[in-house]
Structure 1
């Protein structure tokens, strides 16, 4: 009886695994692995439609004011908001709260990455491992007030994150500033390797993606009409709409 149970569990495990891993052929339709550029387009659409990522930095070896254990040189990943508010470059816009660990680490000399993953709206996508995700390697660059106003970054960002209106630069609660993550390298995992590209995306491919390409592609589990116009989704409203929050 124990042997029978073990055999049944083994069969069930194999069946479950085979149902999760997408085959290269299905109903006589052959799927081709997306090209590097097609993967770059998918990544740029994820950047556009998502709005929360994980910033990874490294603690400095010395510190003067923080009461913390000896974690110098240890990496830490923390959630943070971002917005795709400079789409011509593909550099994410971030409202940096100066007291936050990620930004203090960068100020102390840490490098930084931002990791994103796609969250489908269609609940048939049961395996997160089958879905695309990627990391952006780069550096933070402060955005001056003139550039913020010219690009309409405040309206765009608050369009993504309504609550961020409370933490805009000049607020009485926390010191903050606008920064962009200047993308220098992109590492992409499109899903399972038999149907998706896994590897580095050259910066020129990332930067060459057009708005039309971002609009035309659809991600796994993305419901038709779920997002509506990308322009309205990211909140490219007039500045006075932000001031009314």
Structure 2
């Protein structure tokens, strides 16, 4: 690790002690190289599509961005965190709960386009990457439809988000909520730094067909399924 002395521009003389400016840069993972020292080919679009599919499946929080349709900030984008699960059995669509009083879903109801941004570090109790700029993130563009999912899918949602049972559709004593399904129509993926990872659009059809490892995704689903089957909904 190298050290560089940095001059103080206000004092006009070098600082008393050298400032380590390369520590972070030295720790950033470098691209794989061939024996002659040249960089190997960066991640392909096909590899990125498979990686992105698994990434979205493994996460469960995203920032839903819409365009304000009224009020003081009409015309400005607004983003808010939303819970979701990836429904691998329904063409890689995402399942969410819409709270009718939410500004985001009011915007969507008034015709706003929307996108869902997902990144490493937003997940509860998850690790925040040391180099956030090199972390995976993805923007999904799409459309919402109101649905009535099966108890199995609901159980998977609450296994991922047990606190959301409080505002589940049909539960008394809360604002009106509804199940909604997000169908992906466009994808922009950032796999990390562009010299070694893919950055750009991904084909939706290939993304939907990409395999996912579902191991241990929703370990509490069975217990929630049993609980939901005994509940009385309004």
What's the TM-score, normalizing by structure 2?
0.80
Instruction: Report 1:153-164 matches (<5 A).
Output: 153-164=153-164
Tell me which residue corresponds to 2:15.
5
Give the direction of change, closer, same or farther, for the CA distance of 1:42–1:237 in structure 2 (3 Å limit).
farther
Q: Distance in 2 between matches of 1:124 and 1:74?
A: 29
Q: CA deviation at 1:118?
A: 2.0
* In the alignment, structure 1 residue 36 sits paired with structure 2 residue 37: no
Q: CA deviation at 1:232?
A: 2.4
Q: 2:130 aligns with which of 106, 126, 135?
A: 126
Q: CA deviation at 1:32?
A: 3.9
Q: Distance in 1 between matches of 2:185 and 2:146?
A: 16
Q: Are the counterparts in 2 of residues 190 and 196 from structure 1 also a CA contact under 8 Å?
A: yes
Tell me which residue corresponds to 1:22.
29
Give the direction of change, closer, same or farther, for the CA distance of 1:123–1:163 in structure 2 (3 Å limit).
closer
* In the alignment, structure 1 residue 239 sits paired with structure 2 residue 211: no
Q: CA deviation at 1:88?
A: 4.2
Which has the higher relative contact order, 1 or 2, with Cα contacts under 8 A spaced 6 or more apart? 1
Q: Distance in 1 between matches of 2:99 and 2:74?
A: 21
Give the direction of change, closer, same or farther, for the CA distance of 1:109–1:95 in structure 2 (3 Å limit).
same
Q: Which has the larger radius of gyration?
A: 2
Tell me which residue corresponds to 1:65.
none
* In the alignment, structure 1 residue 195 sits paired with structure 2 residue 207: no
Residue aligned with 1:204, SS: helix
Residue aligned with 1:84, SS: strand
* In the alignment, structure 1 residue 205 sits paired with structure 2 residue 206: yes
Q: Distance in 2 between matches of 1:178 and 1:73?
A: 27
Tell me which residue corresponds to 1:99.
101
Q: CA deviation at 1:243?
A: 5.3
Q: CA deviation at 1:87?
A: 4.2
Tell me which residue corresponds to 2:3.
none
Q: Are the counterparts in 2 of residues 115 and 134 from structure 1 also a CA contact under 8 Å?
A: yes
Tell me which residue corresponds to 2:4.
none
Q: Distance in 1 between matches of 2:83 and 2:128?
A: 27
Residue aligned with 1:24, SS: coil
More helix by share: 1
Tell me which residue corresponds to 2:179.
178
| Structure 2 unaligned regions, length at least 5 | 1-6
What's the TM-score, normalizing by structure 1?
0.77
Q: Are the counterparts in 1 of residues 62 and 83 from structure 2 also a CA contact under 8 Å?
A: yes
Residue aligned with 1:232, SS: coil
Aligned pair count reads 216
Give the direction of change, closer, same or farther, for the CA distance of 1:237–1:200 in structure 2 (3 Å limit).
farther
Give the direction of change, closer, same or farther, for the CA distance of 1:18–1:182 in structure 2 (3 Å limit).
same
